[in-house]
Structure 1
Amino acid sequence: MKHGQASRTALSAAGHRAAHQAIEGGLLFADPLAIRILGRDAEEAIALSKARPERRALRFFVAMRSRFAEESARRAIEAGVRQILVLGAGLDTFAYRLEPREGLRVFELDHPATQRDKRARLAQADIAEPAHVAYVAHDFEHGDMTDALVAGGLDVARRTFVLWLGVAPYLTEDAVYATLVALARFPGGVEVVFDYANPPHAIEEARVRDFHRAMAARVAESGEPFRCFLETALLRERARSLGFVEIEDLDLAALVELYLPHIPVKPRPGPGGHVVRMATG
């Protein structure tokens, strides 16, 4: 992202979530705040999605990854977890739709410029900042994430659920693994859901490979290029070496089987976009 400016990819992801509400009625992922938080940008995002049918696949992936992450988070809360951490929160609205619970705290960590933009949009949309939300300013590529979180009030000795969506592909591989190392060291334990992409050359279907290359070109034009692609087998191996003992990795085919089991034409399993849930013991 450009220095001093809010993330363009955070705005784009919010646009996909808003368009899903307007075009599909939130079929895969209901977010009644998605359009409101975008404010003046919502109409443009929805119009763009309607004008470009090829965006539907990415819109559905964004919706399914959000649903999977939030369902996992809600299960953790029902099991007693009271610390939620949203890494690279962008314009995500989970914390503002989450019903209050005694002792519940949601920490949103993001770049200062993106965080300022979000809070301004919340105020403009008349969306209240709940008492359970704490904002932590941080740049993933600089400084210690854990120090920033502890200074912001997070207790690493308590179990924490982490949502980390739409961020890893834009970081360096070193930054992605440094974040996983930091999370794995939380003494209270963590459960994290994040998304990643396999290297484009590993994608066998030409149509899917071309889609990923076109998407990479678009985000590069925005000044926030893809910087990290991960091999699934290597990610699992490294995650286990860090102490993640429970790993659930879903590619696009698995997500479609989970949330759209009755559609006649389904994607084939294989390299592409993934959502993974990992937990330490």
Structure 2
Amino acid sequence: MQTGEPSRTAYSAARYRADHQELERGAVFRDPLARVIAGDGAAGEYLDEDARRRMRLFIAARSRFAEDALAEAVTAGVGQVVVLGAGLDTFAYRNPFPGLRVFEVDHPATQEWKRQRLAATGIEVPASVTYVPVDFERDALELALPAAGLDEGSPVFVIWLGVTVYLTADAISDTLRALGRLAGGSEVVFDYGLPRPDPTPEQQAAAAARDRRLAAIGERWISFFTPDDVSELLRDNGFRVMENVPAVALAQRYLGRPPTATAGPQLVRARLGG
């Protein structure tokens, strides 16, 4: 992010979700507010058509994965959800669960921009929504959430999508340490990037182009983990891994067809306690 400016990658993710509604008719993930909040224009104009499609389906799949898991948690009695790095996520404004409190956590500049977008587009902010301004690299999440009204004695479901690759390893560890202090039975879903120990020339070129685009908007991919690394980090903070799945495998889960790629980010779901 540029200092004092909202996250441009949050805007791009919202546009991919909006494009998915139109180009794949929301086949993986339905979000009727995506285009409203994202505005006109398509995402990934610098990518070829196949790469844009893969990115759309990945972003749709990770949202579907998280919200399906959230629905299971609510059925089991969870009454609070925390969306870390909320960006232009719209769950809070189409929340189907009466009584579910939603805490949106994000960088103050991005959060202020989102609230302006909501006001400009006429999307109503329900009373169940609480905004929690946090800079993950500087602020103490374990202090910010209770100060905003989170019930520390009750389980929480945490959604943390599209964020970890932009954070330092220390910030990720600090965040998971803070989440490990939540009530037993709390859950977290997040995605993370895999290291490429022996990238092909094509992969090296694609990564270099990506890094140039991100540098132009003051962002960069910093942290990568193996599935074993993530599982160990979660265990160290009291979590039991429930799923640690390649994003490409979700094509089969949600579309009933084999994956069209062999690499990509991972998604993990973990529960605090036994």
TM-score normalized by the length of structure 2:
0.92
The corresponding residue for 2:125 is: 129
Unpaired segments ≥5 residues, structure 1: none
Q: Does 1:266 align with 2:260?
A: yes
Give the partner amino acid of 1:276.
Answer: V
Deviates more, 1:192-201 or 1:83-92: 192-201
Q: Relative to 1, partners in 2 of residues 1:224 and 1:122: Cα closer, same or farther, differing over 3 Å? A: same
2: distance between equivalents of 1:47 and 1:250? 25
CA shift, 1:75, in A, is 1.1
Trace 1:188-199 onto structure 2 (pairs within 5 A). Answer: 188-199=184-195
Q: What percentage of residue pairs aligned between the two structures are identical?
A: 46
- Aligned-partner Cα distance in 2 for 1:62–1:169: 14
Matched, 1:69 2:59: no
Distance 2:63 2:46 in 1: 18
Unaligned runs of 5+ residues in structure 2 are none
Distance 1:51 1:211 in 2: 12
Q: In the alignment, which residue of structure 1 is the partner of 2:34?
A: 34
Counterparts in 2 of 1:270-281, with a 5 A limit?
272-281=264-273
The answer to which structure has the higher helix fraction is: 1
Alignment equivalent of 2:248, drawn from 225, 241, 253: 253
Post-superposition offset of 1:166: 0.5
- Figure out how many residues of one structure are paired with residues of the other and give that number: 273
Cα deviation 1:226-262 (Å, max 9, x = unaligned): 1111122121122112211233111133212212322
1:60 lines up with 2:52 in the alignment:
no
Quick one: structure 1 residues 74 and 254, their matched pair in 2 at CA, closer, same or farther if it must change by over 3 Å? same
SS in 1 for 2:82: strand
For 2:253 and 2:221, the matched residues in 1 are separated by 27
1:110 counterpart (106, 109, 113):
106
Q: Classify the secondary structure of the residue corresponding to 1:237.
A: helix
Q: In structure 2, what residue type is equivalent to 1:192?
A: V
Quote the residue 1:183 is aligned against: 179
Judged with a 3 Å threshold, the aligned counterparts in structure 2 of structure 1 residues 276 and 143 are, in CA distance, closer, same or farther, namely same
Alpha-carbon offset, residue 23 of structure 1: 1.3
Q: 2: distance between equivalents of 1:149 and 1:8?
A: 25
| 2:163 aligned partner | 167
Could you report, residue by residue, the CA deviation over 1:5-56 in whole angstroms, capped at 9, with x for unpaired residues? 11111111111111111211111111000000123xxx22259389744221
CA contact (8 A) 1:19 1:49 kept: no
The code of the aligned residue for 1:58 comes to M
Distance 2:8 2:71 in 1: 28
2:231 to 231, 236, 244: 236
State TM-score, norm by structure 1.
Answer: 0.90
Q: Secondary structure at the match of 1:44?
A: coil
State how far apart, in whole Å, the 2-side matches of 1:67 and 1:206 are: 33
